[in-house]
Structure 1
Amino acid sequence: MIGGFIMKKIMIILCFLLFINPIYLYADDSTDTLKETDETKKIDTENNEENDNNKAPEKTNAKDNTLKENNENETEKDIKKDPNKITEDKDELKENESKENEKTKEELLKEKKEHFKKEYEKIKPKSYINPDTIYLTFDDGPSWITEKILDILKKENIKATFFVCGNNTKYGKKILKRMIKEGHKIGNHTYSHDYNKIYKDVGSFFKDLYKNEKNIYEITGIKPKIVRLPGGSNNSSPHKGKDLITKINKKLLQRGYTYIDWNATAADSSPTSPIKEQIIFNVLKWSTKYNNSIVLMHDSAGKKNSLKALPTIIKKLKSFGYSFDVLSEDSFKVTFNTVKLDKKITSYKSNNLLKKQISNLLN
């Protein structure tokens, strides 16, 4: 009985031991598992933090990109709302550039005026020059400029020579009559002044010349015998060259005309006229080189600067001791078949030399 009791006790202890051991094992496993879980959570937390840190810039960049896109969209919306915005900006830029260019042009023009004024103020006849006579001549009129020139000449009490072209208008006739009435001289500059027409051949030149002579005669009662060829008596423009011009010159002398060129010029024949100060400089520079000068100027409708320059030219030449007169068949002459503007002139044809020249041409 006692043995059975002991055996029973042993069995109970064994059973207890068998029961309690899995609990400890489980407890250990649980502890390890908990530890592993905590460590895993810690690692996961660290990884999450790292991921969050890595993702933060992406969020920022995304935000910046969104703002940029919004700004671009707003700009596009503005342009769509006002499609002329870009054009207006471009126009404003062009306008500003134009103003700058205009300012530059004004400054350059001012400098140019000051330069030529300074230069012409220095001009005086050379010591070996004995100022004698200036023959002012005006080509290509009559026009409204001619009338203003006549006013200036009247005020200064001087006479000039006008080589006129055809103008059959009432106004043109009035100007021609005034020229004669106030003591000026009229010369023939052909009716049309059309190079293609008058320099086609000798016959075409004289046909045009006679037409102008007839027009002048019907208005004034005078047939001019002094002639100025468009382009001068040695021009080669633009057809048969100097051979044609020489034939015309010969025929003019044969028919009792005198052709006259110039030895001083305003250089104002081009459509774009020089500024007033440059015209003054040109005339004074050339005319003061000689005792006697035939000055070429133009009085067609566009020659405003020539008109503006004239009072100063007259005043300066008077101050140098020059007097003024009109050209005639017997007056001082310059002809380009012996004299060129780009060379210094030392002597001119006398009337006897001119007669010899005529004789040579006629032979």
Structure 2
Amino acid sequence: MPGAKAAAASFLLLAAGALSTGALAQGSCAKPIYLTFDTGHMGVAPLIAEVLKRQDVRVTFFAAAEPTQTGGDSLDSQWAPWWKVRAAEGHEFASHTYDHAYWRGDIKGMAPRFRIQPSAGAFAGRQFTWDAEQYCANIAKASDRLQHITGKKPLPLFRAPGGKTSPKLLATAKACGYEHVGWAPAGFLGDELPSEKFSNEKLLQQALERIQPGDILVAHLGIWSRKDPWAPAVLEPLIVGLKAKGFCFETLRQHPAYRAWIASHS
């Protein structure tokens, strides 16, 4: 779209000016933000990787074995080389549950049990009752698969699909070694919202106005429902614009809320 291209050009010029005056040169990260990506159909994954490399930005990927545009899933052998290169570039990884398993409710009783609905895998769309062992196994399965294909141990973190949890679910995951990671209100970048109501230009402007130091940001490696994809129009202008405002990007390994947990569970 012309508006998105103009915005990209404007923010690239802004960053160039900031770099020429040394505004972005800093020995430490005084205004950190934490960009994260959940998996999706992977259609924009190559583009996202190119932007991150060009902008020298490290992020944290939360991965599930979700259906892709090429007919497999996001953790299959076709995508293994893509993940391996991201590991070599210094990105971090964590679980998004293997079957992109949504929490739908707690089951009453002494032992933790949950209503779970996977949106990926052989049982996508069906609801099940999982106990703590089953839920933890699904978190671990994604983490183990990531380690197998990248050769890098994922962080002891996870993100529940949709960010949907309960105190009992969080306690269960923590007991089996996984701390949950959500996102800041301003960090919801809107790439899964309908483009008819939330244009890329609007989402870019909103993010640049609202994001604050310390925020965790979330986007996806492909959203089936959005007609005007977010990443090609917004990702690079957003990164450039945030850098020009003095923000710097870190992975969740450096996040103050998770550093101690990661150190003690690695």
Q: TM-score when scaled to structure 1? A: 0.49
Q: Distance in 2 between matches of 1:142 and 1:188?
A: 16
The residue number in structure 2 matching 1:268 is 191
> 5 Å matches for 1:77-156?
132-141=31-40, 143-156=42-55
2:31–2:214 Cα contact (<8 Å) kept: yes
For residue 189 of structure 1, the aligned residue among 93, 96, 119 is: 96
Query: Among 225, 228, 235, which residue is 1:310 paired with?
Result: 235
Matched residues in 1 for 2:49 and 2:217: separation? 16
Deviations for 1:309-332, whole angstroms, at most 9, x for unmatched residues? 01110111011111111112x623
Map Cα deviations across residues 131-163 of structure 1 (whole Å, 9 max, x no partner).
Answer: 611211111247131221111111111111111
Q: CA–CA distance in 2 between the matches of 1:286 and 1:131? A: 18
Partner of 2:247: 322
Q: How does 1:280-299 map to 2 (within 5 A)?
A: 280-287=204-211, 290-299=212-221
One-letter amino acid matched to 1:140:
T
* Corresponding residue number in structure 1 for 2:109: none
Q: Indicate yes or no: 2:98 matched with 1:174.
A: no
**1:214 corresponding residue in structure 2:** 144
Question: What is the aligned length?
Answer: 202
2:121 match:
none
Match of 1:252 among 169, 173, 182: 173
Identical residues among aligned pairs (%) = 24
Give the unaligned 5+ runs of structure 1: 1-108, 122-129, 236-241, 335-349, 355-363
CA distance in 1, matches of 2:57, 2:170: 30
SS at match of 1:212: helix
Unaligned 5+ residue runs, structure 2?
Answer: 12-28, 66-73, 103-115, 119-127, 262-266
Q: 3-state SS of the aligned residue for 1:135?
A: strand
Greater helix fraction, Structure 1 or Structure 2: 1
Match among 132, 139, 159 for residue 228 of structure 1: 159
Following the alignment from structure 2 to structure 1, what is the Cα–Cα distance between the partners of residues 175 and 33? Answer: 28
Q: Secondary structure at the match of 2:252?
A: coil
Residue 281 of structure 1 aligns to which amino acid in structure 2? Q
Higher relative contact order (CA 8 A, sep 6+): 2
Provide the TM-score with structure 2 as the length reference: 0.65
